[in-house]
Amino acid sequence: MKTILVSLSLVFILFSCESGNHVDFSKNVETVKELVNLHALEEADAISAMFHEDLEWQGPAYGSDPLNKADHMAAIVMYHDMFENLKYTANNWLPGVNAETGQLDGSVRTYGVWSGNHSLTGTPLELTSYHTFDFKDGKIIAGGDYFDLGGMFASFEVAPETEQTDAAE
């Protein structure tokens, strides 16, 4: 009897513990990796196809409202115009959880570094960032970019004395 109770207890413990990632996590990581590769190739149409029509994206600007798909795609094209050799190097790919239940939901979180060069000044970009990606029907339906947008833009500004020197020449 004792052996049966111990065996049943072990079975109960094994089935009641959640282990591993959500069944869709690996597939969704590959989707996000493809997205950042397409970003590097400046393939806006292919990127757009990866987003759900009901996309809700939190941009990095302080106090900004979430962006819909069209507005987020406009921001992506802006980055393509602003930078050359844009590349994302992930430090990790982390599983996300449903905010209401705390359960793994197949979403993807990543910390990493964007690198490249500002198109007009040639100034190198090295931007530490955090990104979230939530999925529905195999497409990205929500997410966000978290980095110092103001600091990034300020790093490419031409100093006033440089503008005056250039104008005098």
Q: What's residue 157's pLDDT? A: 78
- Which domains can be identified in the chain, with CATH numbers? 22-168 (3.10.450.50)
Q: What is the pTM of this model?
A: 0.81
Q: Using DSSP, how many helices (H) and how many strands (E) does the chain show?
A: 6, 6
Residue 16: count of CB within 10 angstroms of its CB:
7
Residue 169 has pLDDT above 60, yes or no: no
DSSP character string of 111-137: EEEEEEEETTT--EEEEEEEEEEEEET
- Percent with pLDDT over 70 in the chain: 82
d(CA 38, CA 119) in angstroms, rounded, equals: 18
DSSP 62: T
**Main-chain dihedrals φ then ψ at residue 155, nearest 5 degrees:** -70, -15
Task: Determine the average pLDDT of the residues in 87-113.
Answer: 96
> Tens digit of pLDDT for each residue in 125-159?
999 999 999 999 999 999 999 999 999 999 987 65
Q: Write out pLDDT tens, residues 51-80.
A: 999 999 999 999 999 999 999 999 999 999
% of residues, the chain, pLDDT over 90: 78
Backbone angles phi, psi at 53, to 5 degrees: -60, -30
How many other C-beta atoms are found inside a 10 Å radius of the C-beta of residue 158? 11
29 φψ region: left (φ > 0), alpha (ψ -120 to 50), beta (else): alpha
pLDDT at 7 over 80: no
